Amino acid sequence: MIARLGTSVVGALRSARDLWLVLLSTLAGVIRRGGAQGELVRQMHAIGNKSVLFVVVTLGFIGMVMAYEACNQLSRITGDYSAVGSQFIRLIVSDFGPTLTGLMLATRVGAGIAAEIGSMKVTEQIDALRMSGVLPIDYLIVPRFIASLIMTLLLSVIGALVMFGAGGLTAEHSFGVNPSIFYDFTYVRPRHMILFMIKALSYGAAIPVVAGFCGLRARGSSEGVGWATTAAVIGSSFAVIVLDFVISAAALFLTGGDL
């Protein structure tokens, strides 16, 4: 029992070390400008353009539900909707916009990256890359990393705007909230915008690194690719949530709780 526990702990520590090494190798690859320009554009299309509809639809619906629930609760207590929009956008900018976008991308993009790299691993294409003089991380993860950084930030902006817009429409049609009152950015401060950017960029960095790491660990055949894909979705979603907690906690600490 103790031996088995020890083996699991050692395995987990090794995985953490390997993940850290993948991150460092990726950053080194970015610095030495690894990866091809064409591949970067292809990855930006795959990660960004192909995720737009998914992000818009999911964040739009979440925005509608959240605005409805907020107005519904207010109607039972005070009936005063004057601050609902301004507080809603503050929450979206400081947290929900980038985090929900990150979670959506962790499933769609994380699974795609792990499946693609995992398939290459089990079919020995990664070994063939090494034989061709190519560093697999430079070729496979660096372009996805850069593309993900850029596109996660852009998609977070789009997702946040759609969420706010959909929430405003719901508030207007269901509770008669005047759009000029709802669409109020008074409470959004530069610190919220900075937090938005830090979160979006952090998620954009974490998703391809975690998913790429899982893909590179695929073993065997299709079962190994399936395992890698599942691990990538769980791992990158978990990374988004942990990063959200850590960054939010750090922001609260730095602002003395006045976020």
Partner 1 sequence: MTAYVEFKNVEKAFAGKPVLKGMSLAVNKGEVMFIIGTSGVGKSVTIKHLIGLLRIDAGEIWFDGKRVDQLVERQFAPLRKRIGMVFQSSTLFDSMTLAENVALPLRKHGKLGHAEALEQARVRLAQVYMAEHADRYPAELSDGMRKRAAIARTLALEPEVVLFDEPTTGLDPVSARRIDRLIRELADTLGVTAIVVSHDPSSIFGIADRVAFLYRGVVHVTATPADLRASPDPLVQQFITGTSSGPMETPGF
Query: In terms of CB distance, is 85 or 212 closer to partner 1?
Result: 212
Residue 69 lies near partner 1 (rule: CB under 8 A): no
Q: Could you tell me the smallest distance in angstroms from the CB atom of residue 22 to partner 1?
A: 14
Residue from 28, 134, 181, 259 binding partner 1 (CB under 8 A): 134
Q: Looking only at residues 145 through 184 of this chain, which bind partner 1 when binding is defined by CB under 8 A?
A: none
Residue 125 lies near partner 1 (rule: CB under 8 A): yes
By rule CB under 8 A, what string of x and - marks binding of each residue 12-51 to partner 1? ---------------------------x--x---------
Residue from 10, 72, 82, 124 binding partner 1 (CB under 8 A): 124
Residue 127 lies near partner 1 (rule: CB under 8 A): yes
Question: DSSP for the chain?
Answer: -HHHHHHHHHHHHHHHHHHHHHHHHHHHHHHTT-S-HHHHHHHHHHHTGGGHHHHHHHHHHHHHHHHHHHHHHHHHHT---TTHHHHHHHHIIIIIHHHHHHHHHHHHHHHHHHHHHHHHHHTTHHHHHHHTT--HIIIIIHHHHHHHHHHHHHHHHHHHHHHHHHHHHHHHHHH---HHHHS--TT--HHHHHHHHHHHHHHHHHHHHHHHHHHHT--SSHHHHHHHHHHHHHHHHHHHHHHHHHHHHHHHHHTTT--
Q: Which stretch binds partner 1 (CB under 8 A): 74-82, 129-137, 152-160, 249-257?
A: 129-137
Query: In terms of CB distance, is 69 or 127 closer to partner 1?
Result: 127
Binding positions for partner 1, rule: CB under 8 A: 39, 42, 123-125, 127-134
